[in-house]
Amino acid sequence: MKHLLTLFELSTADIERVFAISKDLKAKLARGIREPLLPGRVMAMIFEKQSLRTRVSFETGMAHLGGSSLFLGQDVGFGKRESAADFSQVLSQYVDVIVCRTNAHAKVEDLAKYATVPVINGLTDSAHPCQALTDLFTLEEVHGKLAGKRLAYVGDANNVAKSLAVCCGKLGVEFAIAAPAKYQFDDAFLAQLKHEVPQSKVTQTTRPADAVKGAVGIYTDVWVSMGQEAEEVERKKEFSPYQINAALMKQAPASAIFLHCLPARRGEEVTDDVIDSPQSAVIPQAGNRMHVQKGLLAWLLGAKV
Ligand code: CP
Ligand code: NVA
């Protein structure tokens, strides 16, 4: 049973295969073709946090593929009414795939442990694999083959950053992160990355200008992720020198694109003039969530492609 809880689970060849299917499906959709690769398949969606992109792009993508989705609200009592084993085994008998967005990563691990259908992580506190896959796909659309290139990330070493670092490692991309020392990657994550993706190249610095040098993509995310609201005042203070603004973009190559997983807090981690500039790819990046997740669903569910 294949799951997608983190990108550690995908090989480089798996990622390239998902990208190839996604590219094909995206090109076909542009010609008005919606190939029903997953007719009659049903996707369950459990979301314990807010979402626009992940929820809608998964549901829409599944509809394009000829399948359907069930958005499961609080009434199913995920994590509350019964054991994870009972919940997961029962749900697996009804549906073909489960997408889950929650806080503690252990909750998706529990779902997957007992599921007899694939479980896809739609964001936890420590990983956002569908986002990172999309981001590298987007970067490759603009810059071609990525091996040997650099992605700069200025901001919190959060769920998005961790998944990006893993994806970059698998694709031979250097990941340069600039953050205050206390918000850089923790030792446990770095040790896991080194162990599972030994070829990965991560550089950590407190100087944004160093990270963006020579990069093909300049990425940021919010300073305060969902669930960290109590740390808002401190985080805003610590991260204020890490804003992506026109002055920082000038330190990067003119061909670099600006990326953000969205939603953005404009005026905090990024200024309007950057996110709205011709260098910004955030809108097509968000659009690609749907194309890449269609590729992922087709691949995970073994569609004939
Ligand atoms: N980037 C992302 O996952 O967006 P949502 O929170 O809207 O799903
Ligand atoms: N790091 C952010 C990403 C939102 C898509 C969060 O976890 O809130």
Residue 273 lies in a domain: yes
Rounded Cα gap, residues 304 and 35, in angstroms: 11
The CATH number of residue 12's host domain is 3.40.50.1370
Would the pLDDT of 28 be above 90? yes
Residue 161 lies in a domain: yes
Rounded Cα gap, residues 61 and 69, in angstroms: 10
Q: What's the gap in Å between 129 CA and the centre of ligand 1?
A: 12
Between CA 91 and CA 95, with CA 92 as vertex, the angle to 5 degrees is 85
Angle between helices 105-114 and 84-94 (to 10 degrees): 60
Ligand nearest, relative to CA of residue 54:
1
Would the pLDDT of 1 be above 90? no
The answer to whether residues 262 and 295 belong to one domain is no
The answer to whether residues 140 and 273 belong to one domain is yes
The answer to whether residues 118 and 146 belong to one domain is no
Instruction: Tell if the pTM clears 0.85, that is, is over it.
Output: yes
The answer to whether residues 150 and 279 belong to one domain is yes
Phi/psi of residue 133, nearest 5 degrees? -60, -45
Q: Which atom of ligand 1 is nearest to the CA of 49?
A: 6
Going by alpha carbons, the residue nearest to atom 1 of ligand 2 is: 225
Which amino acid is present at 243?
A: Q
Would the pLDDT of 154 be above 90? yes
- Give the residue numbers marked as catalytic: 101, 128, 131, 221, 261, 289
Query: What confidence tens digit (pLDDT) does each residue in 281-304 have?
Result: 999 999 999 999 999 999 999 999
Burial (CB count <10 Å: 0-12, 13-18, 19+), residue 13: exposed
The answer to whether residues 93 and 230 belong to one domain is no
Would the pLDDT of 246 be above 90? yes
The answer to whether residues 139 and 65 belong to one domain is no
The answer to whether residues 50 and 68 belong to one domain is yes
Pocket lining for ligand 2, CB < 6 angstroms: 123, 158-160, 221-222, 225-226, 261
> pLDDT value at position 77?
95
Largest CA distance in the chain: 55
Query: What confidence tens digit (pLDDT) does each residue in 225-241 have?
Result: 999 999 999 999 999 99
Which amino acid is present at 25?
A: L
Going by alpha carbons, the residue nearest to atom 3 of ligand 1 is: 54
> pLDDT value at position 7?
98
The total number of structural domains in the chain stands at 2
Mean pLDDT over the full length of the chain: 98
The answer to whether residues 138 and 248 belong to one domain is yes
Residue 172 lies in a domain: yes
Residue 305 lies in a domain: no
Domain holding 78, by residue range, is: 7-128+287-300
> What tokens does 108 get?
């998706």
Residue 92 lies in a domain: yes
Residue 258 lies in a domain: yes
Probe residue for ligand 2, chosen from 158, 162, 285 as the CB with the greatest number of ligand atoms within 8 Å: 158
The answer to whether residues 191 and 215 belong to one domain is yes
Would the pLDDT of 274 be above 90? yes
> What tokens does 277 get?
């500039």
The answer to whether residues 66 and 157 belong to one domain is no
> What tokens does 106 get?
């252990």
Residue 1 lies in a domain: no
Probe residue for ligand 2, chosen from 47, 261, 269 as the CB with the greatest number of ligand atoms within 8 Å: 261
> What tokens does 146 get?
């990525």
Query: Which residues, in sequence order, are CB contacts of 182 under 8 Å at separation 6+?
Result: 238
The answer to whether residues 63 and 98 belong to one domain is yes
The answer to whether residues 107 and 177 belong to one domain is no
> pLDDT value at position 244?
98
Percentage above 70 pLDDT, the chain: 100
Q: Is the CB of 262 under 6 A from ligand 1?
A: yes
Query: What confidence tens digit (pLDDT) does each residue in 30-74 have?
Result: 999 999 999 999 999 999 999 999 999 999 999 999 999 999 998
265: alpha, beta or left, given left = phi > 0 and alpha = psi -120 to 50? beta
